[in-house]
């Protein structure tokens, strides 16, 4: 079973109302419209700043969340399935993380020092220094993670399909065993 936890963070972040002035940071993914999420960040020992993060419509249910990372100053903002990553002490560092499709869920693995972002087809891992790897396409439509142990995460590709397949991914390298490596 995956033990849900949180990473140690040196900041507080929350969704905010529209700022009274212009935001300190504006991040927009390619194809995004005018709809954006406003985030207020208070780094411990730093200046409060606000940012707007805009994402295109993913065309399916997708995650919207503020996520800590293995880096205590790292923040992952997921807006409508598009992930943005940066250092809260350097607001201009925020940018879009390339993932294989819209992010639909996330798993924080503090013991392994990895944040996993799941699309319906692949997994992207974020470590202390940023993106570690993205798997090739593992599923036609859906990945379920069941456990993390001994440096691997295990689950099922296409769990609702007539032929679900076990899948395991090595957390250090992104090496895949099982699943439906597609393309």
pLDDT digits (tens, 9 = 90+) for 71-106: 999 999 999 999 999 999 999 999 999 999 999 999
- Rounded (10°) CA dihedral 53, 62, 32, 96: 50
Question: Looking at 63-67, 87-91, 139-143, 172-176, which range is the least confident one?
Answer: 139-143
For position 141, what pLDDT does the model report? Answer: 85
- Rounded (10°) CA dihedral 150, 175, 109, 66: 180
Burial of 157 by CB count in 10 Å (0-12 exposed, 13-18 middle, 19+ buried)?
Answer: buried
For position 1, what pLDDT does the model report? Answer: 45
Residues in the chain: 183
**Angstrom distance (rounded) from CA 46 to CA 50:** 13
């Amino acid at each position: 079973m995956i033990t849900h936890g949180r990473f140690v963070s040196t900041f507080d972040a929350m969704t905010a109302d529209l700022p009274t002035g212009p935001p300190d940071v504006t991040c927009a993914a390619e194809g995004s419209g005018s709809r954006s999420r406003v985030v207020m960040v208070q780094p411990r020992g730093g200046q409060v700043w606000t940012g707007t993060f805009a994402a295109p419509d993913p065309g399916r249910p997708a995650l919207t969340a503020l996520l800590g990372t293995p880096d205590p100053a790292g923040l992952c903002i997921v807006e409508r399935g598009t992930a943005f990553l940066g250092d809260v002490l350097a607001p201009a560092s925020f940018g879009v993380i390339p993932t294989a499709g819209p992010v639909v869920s996330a798993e924080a693995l503090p013991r392994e020092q990895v944040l996993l972002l799941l699309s319906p087809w692949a997994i992207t891992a974020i470590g202390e220094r940023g993106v570690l790897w993205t798997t090739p396409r593992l599923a036609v439509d859906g990945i379920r993670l069941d456990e993390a142990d001994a440096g691997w995460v295990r689950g099922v590709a296409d769990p609702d399909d007539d032929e679900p397949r076990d899948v395991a991914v090595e957390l250090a390298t992104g090496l895949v065993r099982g699943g439906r490596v597609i393309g």
